[in-house]
Amino acid sequence: EVQVVESGGGLVQAGGSLRLSCAASVPRFDDYAFGWFRQAPGKDREGVSCIRVSDGTTRSADPVKGRFTISIDNAKKAVYLQIDTLKPEDTAVYFCAAEYRGGRGPCYLDDYEYDYWGQGTQVTVSS
């Protein structure tokens, strides 16, 4: 069974940093792409960043470029989202999602492309 579990959310002051973690229980890590998504109250869920494990290719949404960095640890089958210079508008529930790609093709920032989702972790940024 494929499963992803997020952790690392919390309450942080504006300008601070946070690292979110996603533990992936998958048969073969290289076969998957992973995405980070977020949903703020009253807003649609949006793709933030994604990574194709097989070659490390990444994509990020314009609002977070330069502040958010996605990375992986192959040994741990873990996906991370390093968030720097946090802003109040970053406040949202953050989700990790996994998609089987067989080690080919790009990753996507569209939520309908992903089959497996974590429970979400709350990030709250105070001003």
Strands 121-126 and 10-13, sheet pairing: parallel
Distances (CA, A) of 9 to 20, 24, 113: 6, 17, 24
Q: What is the pLDDT of residue 72?
A: 98
Compute the average pLDDT of residues 22-47. 97
**Percentage with pLDDT > 90 across the chain:** 94
Contact between residue 78 and residue 6 where contact means Cβ atoms under 8 Å apart: no
Average pLDDT over residues 88-102: 97
33 forms bridges with which residues in the sheet?
52, 99
**Residue 118 contacts by C-beta under 8 Å, 6 or more apart in sequence?**
4, 5, 6, 22, 95, 96, 97
Query: What is the rounded CA–CA span in Å between residue 71 and residue 32?
Result: 14
How confident is the prediction for the chain on average, in pLDDT? 96
